[in-house]
Structure 1
């Protein structure tokens, strides 16, 4: 007999958001540039991306090492054909067929490649390669059709805002006529194949190059920024990003391509610059990227296209020390080469982020306790069970759907539990021993909404605030976001899922998972996340 079994609303919402790829909703990804000699290996980068729950990554070539690193991660990858390859790609179909056979097909679909960008900002290059873009795109599409992948992997090319002859006011946006010879056939190609128009937008440069005309607040999405009114349309702009994006939209509309989807393949802010680059700071970089993520995730759209879904890739994952130009050109990274954050960033767009100055944050007592990389899984599991049991550590934050559950690894969960015990017991050396599996560190291991407490914060009520969100808050989130999401995605019975008390019930004959008092490893019992996904028919 079927029976109803409750699922926590926040867990269900997490599941829905995780499987949102086939439904509506804006997406935020990150650009993974590699013009540096001090970066971690691609395998470690893939782990870092998963650690921060980043689901979309753009690379600028088709490095087999990188593509393989993202296999079975659930991360969607945008790969690139560099400008240097446009000539051979445009000349001979066999060149493209060979490339696809060797660089893409062996690793797909284990690596979820969703886009191929053919050329990047070709109008900004010294060599006149723009005429090669469309022929190369046509050949890439032909190769994909032979492999039966043309509907799963989309082909496009990225552009800078310099492709416009005019961008202000936004309604006057117009493409530069000198690019018409390749632009019109490219736009027709994109429409015919349902591919997006890709553009890189940088409000930072607008401010840096013309601070007397563009305020810093306007560039940073600051609420205190003065509004800018488009005199032709009366549309009100509160930030430079929207103004730049709408200038592209109006330029497309002028050529009768108003339905073409626009994707922002680069946007960001430098965290360091030369003496004259006063706005290139960690504070401003954090402010811009935080506000950008919130703006995109909320599906606010733009004044010209309110509610429009906008996919954005933040530039860039790492600082790149081999890039030429001003100091700022080498310092757009979200992370240092050692994989520590330049500043904290909430990728969900819904949390609170403390604006910080400088690089790594240190605790008031200077240390945290984490799992040693040299410890065996068996020893870590025993220590974790002890900490969450006899050690009286509150391990609710590492339960499914809670802020420290991801990444779902033994080392991550043990680190959170070890640090909680360490801080509760005076932050002494003995309190971080755990049979030799604990390790003291001076770098804050906190990430996203997962906060590793310090002894100064113990007892203030802050340590588990993120993990102990009330059912009322969960229910409100479910009603305002989860339920509309289900309806939007066409999941049947969405209106009948909410029951008394804000819980969600599904009829299921699946066995209930045993209680997880000491947080056993994911293979020990049936995971709640898997059960919830089964209820939705997603597994």
Structure 2
């Protein structure tokens, strides 16, 4: 990991390595760094991983001892080509091939699933920016040549300062100097190779650098009043979600030569966000609190760097992943990734607290407990507190099938759904999303702010267009004849209505509505009477395509049926 100097934009600073992949369920691994004195050996590390149910690790190089120890364990392993080798890999296909042969192919029993080419190149070594994509392409070509391109994907972690703006999430966009030069061809490359877009984000660092501007509860996934994105009307109750959605929005704004590439990353039902690094400093050293550096000098860290806060952040993030919760903007996104880091590493360069992100001390004893296997109970749904009214609205992006369940749940657990029954005030428009929005919002208003529904609905602070007020009178509607089907079909439909419940006595010869004596007028009368008696549903005004629902009273009905005036 490299702790970056993060951008403060609006209310949030963001960083974490985000893959966009296609896995069905979220999984969580750890970053396995080795820059610590008295670190347990790789075989003991493997046993530690197994004991804690950890099934994925990310390495910052391709350490032979670690790769050998991880063989035949079924643990997925990511390896890295460090920045210092980027120029060599970019300039020589032979070097790239030799690197892949020595560091990937040489370990057939180890389940290597990605190669990270460089790390935060735009931020750490911007002079290598133009070397990044050529290096990735050469590593990819090498994987193809040894028959491993399907199993091993090429990625590159990107720091969030690749975005010129990241908060609110809807304003996320890439910097001008890299948007078309690097990001556009990079996304095309990732699409062609079936790989993943990767970002680095650290909520903890945002809070550490600006504690007066950021709510710690917002960083740690604890209940808080949230942050409103006025561009989308969506509320964010943790910084992690805001980070991921900022990248989604940035990709949307990117003019890519591969629309398919952007579409694969962004598609509502398939979008995914996987991260390589996320974590929180624990304030401990290699053996316990108040660590000193190698010269004995006391090192200062943020007041937020405590084992309790680190445990809260990592446990809540793991729980979110294992429960399959997406983001406000992409509720279907599947999130997978790696917690930084496995060990406290006292030999790491950089900021003081970078040495204390570990779940374990170097000797393998835990700094605090985390559960990588069980999702645990769902976190409490925050109660929004911004001033003004709010609504719970269904998210159409999840699809009708997933909206049916929250609608049924809301109606069965306290929401008054009578208004969306056929013929009632809010039945129209008769769509799953409209009915789900009504049911979820009624449930939300009655339950004082409960709007979760597993990501199928979200809180907004601008009244959604078309919101139905059940207390208002039902919108007037009529069923009238459509002559496009021809006289024969119209007559058959007229006869059907009159013989199946419509009172057609008024349009008989001598009846008060006989005139005007036209088939269209008589059919309109019969259709409308049938429509009224059958709940004013769309189905009750079909008549084999000869009937149409209108919301402005037709002149022929006003003239032949005074009651309708």
**Please, what TM-score do these two structures have when normalized by structure 1?**
0.59
Equivalence for 2:86: 86
Equivalence for 2:279: 268
Equivalence for 2:72: 72
Equivalence for 1:125: 124
Higher radius of gyration, 1 or 2 = 2
Matched, 1:289 2:309: no
Equivalence for 2:133: 134
- Cα distance in 1 for partners of 2:75, 2:92 equals 31
* Residue pairs, 1:205-220, within 5 angstroms: 205-220=205-220
Query: CA distance change for structure 1 residues 22 and 73 in 2, over 3 Å: closer, same or farther?
Result: farther
Equivalence for 1:328: 353
Deviation at 1:23, TM superposition (A): 6.2
Deviation at 1:213, TM superposition (A): 2.2
- Cα distance in 2 for partners of 1:173, 1:59 equals 29
- Cα distance in 1 for partners of 2:234, 2:210 equals 22
**Please, what TM-score do these two structures have when normalized by structure 2?**
0.57
RMSD: 2.0
Equivalence for 1:250: 249
**Kept after mapping to 2: 8 A contact 1:199/1:262:** no
Deviation at 1:327, TM superposition (A): 2.6
- Cα distance in 2 for partners of 1:177, 1:349 equals 43
Equivalence for 2:178: 179
**Kept after mapping to 1: 8 A contact 2:208/2:302:** yes
* Residue pairs, 1:68-467, within 5 angstroms: 68-108=68-108, 110-126=109-125, 128-180=127-179, 181-223=181-223, 225-255=224-254, 257-260=262-265, 261-272=272-283, 275=300, 277-351=302-376
Query: CA distance change for structure 1 residues 232 and 148 in 2, over 3 Å: closer, same or farther?
Result: same
**Kept after mapping to 2: 8 A contact 1:82/1:120:** yes
Query: CA distance change for structure 1 residues 296 and 66 in 2, over 3 Å: closer, same or farther?
Result: same
Deviation at 1:36, TM superposition (A): 2.0
Deviation at 1:262, TM superposition (A): 3.5
Across the two proteins, how many residue pairs are aligned to each other?
332
Deviation at 1:176, TM superposition (A): 1.1
Query: Deviations 1:396-435 (Å, cap 9, x if unpaired)?
Result: xxxxxxxxxxxxxxxxxxxxxxxxxxxxxxxxxxxxxxxx
**Kept after mapping to 2: 8 A contact 1:144/1:150:** yes
Equivalence for 1:438: none
- Cα distance in 2 for partners of 1:120, 1:228 equals 30
Unaligned runs of 5+ in 1: 1-20, 354-539
Query: CA distance change for structure 1 residues 22 and 198 in 2, over 3 Å: closer, same or farther?
Result: closer
**Kept after mapping to 2: 8 A contact 1:346/1:352:** no
- Cα distance in 1 for partners of 2:24, 2:125 equals 39
Equivalence for 2:444: none
- Cα distance in 2 for partners of 1:189, 1:292 equals 30
* Residue pairs, 1:3-22, within 5 angstroms: none
Unaligned runs of 5+ in 2: 1-20, 256-261, 266-271, 285-298, 379-565
Deviation at 1:351, TM superposition (A): 3.8
Name the SS for the 1:250 alignment partner.
helix
Higher relative contact order (CA closer than 8 Å, sequence separation 6+): 1
Deviation at 1:276, TM superposition (A): 5.7
Name the SS for the 1:107 alignment partner.
coil
Name the SS for the 1:149 alignment partner.
coil
**Kept after mapping to 1: 8 A contact 2:30/2:341:** yes
Query: Deviations 1:314-365 (Å, cap 9, x if unpaired)?
Result: 0000011112233311100000011010000011242489xxxxxxxxxxxx
- Cα distance in 2 for partners of 1:258, 1:332 equals 35
Per mean C-alpha deviation after superposition, the further-off stretch among 66-75 and 342-351 is 342-351
Equivalence for 2:269: none
Name the SS for the 1:116 alignment partner.
strand
- Cα distance in 2 for partners of 1:314, 1:26 equals 13
Name the SS for the 1:53 alignment partner.
coil
